Chains A and B, each alone.
Chain A
């Protein structure tokens, strides 16, 4: 039988009271542990990247002149502030290589996002219109490639796109072409690689948006005299827009910094910023410049990342 706490304590600390279940130390740990982890392994590394991007290259290990020397105290710190330099950033503006790499990354990412959208929309639409019993299977089939290694999926295309590869063999056998097409080591191969690798990222949010949509809306529009194509643009597409935004950002953002696809499918003349960063770091061992490259890349991605997070936050709010 339950007993009331004795009334000798007319006003026990309201700590354990309702609403404030989270006052216990155990519950605070839930916030503090992941917070500290992410702070130390995610945020601090960025500050270091930023710091190193402002320091001078040196031929040493690590190959940069340290910016802060704790043992020299405040004076040393002030001195070292004087040593901070924008040289690495100036270097990025002087060498056309970097500028071209950024521009070409944006172009490639944007174009392949549009292609992925064009390819993904009919798939997502077809899935949403599929019989309800079939939908979970179709959904799983879209997700399944995502679980298989990215590297493997990109690698699979090398064998297909090579001059003596399967695609060319097939086209020659069909009689469409006589001489093999040169696709591998071109930007076309990169487009194919990005569209292929990121297609599930586009299809899933689109499907989520379209599946929720009530198809009787389209029927109502047609009933009111709107032809099917027009109904698509006036009803279906606007309602799928949150999915379009989320999907596009999910393709565009990682495509901007992509390394594996341009490295394996693109040619030596292909410029993409992820690859440039990698080469700068691993081949030229110029850590300050690669840090500067990373900082600029991050700045370019701030807007799309914010767009994406806003869309996410809004959809989470709606689900509540």
Chain B
């Protein structure tokens, strides 16, 4: 994906073939009875990376995390942490810590005692524990709540205690299971950035499990999209959104229009595709291995232009349709346009002007158009 190179941040060890992965899942399979939770999965995660495992419930993401923490053993395959095979090492001897979805704060212990728990298990001297606990409390801004019990805290405070407790031991890797799942929307947005700062400041490797694509997109350096125990794509958020590798990924992250058709001809990096109704589209930046067969052109709604008048002659990829439905969302308007072949295409337009002259409404005739490089061609 050469065209997307500029989007990447400078931190990108995965582009360096010589870089050694910090965590490596090698051909991991996990079965529970007949159910295959994780299916021959391989993944590499690098030091100091903020890595997100994204998928619907039951996709195997939590199982993966629990295998890394040591609560489950893989049926086959191996997990390496810093080059060391983790098989057979019980959770209490693994240098990883986990922040639980339910927070799992010990209800009979104060905030301080919760944070100190892991340090005590290591036999750290008392004075040092006190020092570290104070440091952690400061880090999560809960100094005045040290003596409180978990039930005396609000949801957001509990989340921060859980976080402080899991980083107190300075683990090599912090595992976060739906870390923001129990918070309300506003708090979640604030906390996302706090988590990112914390990860930067402590220089830890984070592996976060989430079903919330927005959360994953905001926080992660890279995202692995999982489905039925398999990895569908591993890439940066921008790549996932702009260059999904399959129909599943395209549909899973954000809204997408899939225009199905068959390849008519290829000319360099551009392709002509004929849709089911006979309409023809021209697309560019096509991967090298696509030159024939059935394909889908995936394009995001914001990259489609809707207009009440036929676009000027020579505009690429114009289709005629009718406004089937529309939703005014304030900042933008989403149009559902029904094409001649019956397919409904979603297009969104920013409402940059307060009053628009040519407003479209239900049943109006409309034309959609998009640039040849506005979407990607998918074969899977």
- Listed in ascending order, the chain A residues whose CB lies under 8 Å from chain B are 1-5, 7, 10-14, 16-19
Contact = CB atoms under 8 A, between A and B. Distances in A.
Contacts of A16: 88, 90
Given A10-B85, A16-B88, A2 B70 contact: no
Nearest to A19: B72
Nearest to B72: A18
B81 A4 contact: yes
Interface string B196-218: 00000000000000000000000
A14 B86 CA distance: 11
B70 A7 contact: no
A27 to B, nearest CB: 13
Given A2-B94, A2-B122, A2-B170, 13 more contacts: A2-B172, A3-B95, A4-B84, A4-B94, A5-B89, A5-B93, A11-B85, A12-B88, A12-B89, A16-B90, A17-B90, A18-B66, A18-B71
Question: B90, B93, B95 — which one has the most chain A CB atoms within 10 A of its CB?
Answer: B90
Contacts of A2: 93-95, 122, 169-172
A18 B85 contact: no
B168 to A, nearest CB: 11
Interface size class of B (residues with CB under 8 A): 20 to 34
B20 to A, nearest CB: 15
A13 B88 contact: yes
B73 A19 contact: yes
A11 B84 CA distance: 11
Interface string B106-148: 0000000000000000100000000000000000000000000
A14 B88 contact: yes
A34 to B, nearest CB: 26
Interface of B: 66-67, 70-73, 81-85, 87-91, 93-95, 122, 169-172
A4 B170 contact: no
B73 A14 contact: yes
Contacts of B89: 4-5, 12, 17
A14 B81 CA distance: 17
B146 to A, nearest CB: 23
A19 B87 contact: no
Contacts of B67: 18
A14 B85 CA distance: 13
Contact of B71 (A4, A5, A14, A19): A19
B87 A4 contact: no
A1 B73 CA distance: 24
Contacts of B85: 7, 10-11
A187 to B, nearest CB: 53
B88 A11 contact: yes
26 contacts: A2-B93, A2-B94, A2-B95, A2-B170, A2-B172, A3-B95, A4-B81, A4-B82, A4-B89, A5-B89, A5-B93, A7-B83, A10-B85, A11-B88, A14-B73, A14-B87, A14-B88, A17-B70, A17-B87, A17-B88, A17-B89, A18-B66, A18-B67, A18-B70, A18-B73, A19-B72
Contacts of B170: 1-2
Which secondary structure dominates where chain B touches chain A?
loop
Contacts of A11: 85, 87-88
A18 B171 CA distance: 19
A12 B89 CA distance: 7
B203 to A, nearest CB: 14
A20 to B, nearest CB: 8
A251 B67 CA distance: 49
A19 B31 CA distance: 13
Contacts of A19: 71-73
A13 B88 CA distance: 6
A19 B66 CA distance: 11
B230 to A, nearest CB: 22
Contacts of A18: 66-67, 70-73, 90-91
B73 A17 contact: yes
A274 B256 CA distance: 75
Nearest to B92: A16
B95 A4 contact: yes
A17 B67 CA distance: 10
A158 B256 CA distance: 81
Contacts of A4: 81-82, 84, 89, 93-95
A26 to B, nearest CB: 15
Nearest to B89: A5
Nearest to B97: A2
Nearest to A20: B73
Nearest to B90: A16
Contacts of A13: 88
Nearest to A7: B84
Contacts of B172: 2
Nearest to A3: B95
A12 B90 CA distance: 10
A227 B332 CA distance: 51
A178 B199 CA distance: 90
A1 B81 CA distance: 16
A5 B88 CA distance: 10
B57 to A, nearest CB: 18
- Considering residues B81, B88, B93, which has the most beta carbons from chain A within 10 angstroms of its beta carbon? B88
A205 to B, nearest CB: 29
A19 to B, nearest CB: 6
User: 5 closest Cβ contacts across the A-B interface?
Assistant: A12-B88, A2-B95, A16-B90, A18-B71, A14-B88
A11 B88 CA distance: 6
Contacts of A10: 85
Contacts of B66: 18
A131 B336 CA distance: 50
Contacts of B71: 18-19
A12 B73 CA distance: 13
A17 to B, nearest CB: 5
Contacts of A17: 70, 73, 87-90
B128 to A, nearest CB: 11
A267 to B, nearest CB: 56
Contacts of A3: 95
**B71, B82, B89, B170, most chain A CB atoms within 10 A:** B89
A12 B84 CA distance: 13
B43 to A, nearest CB: 19
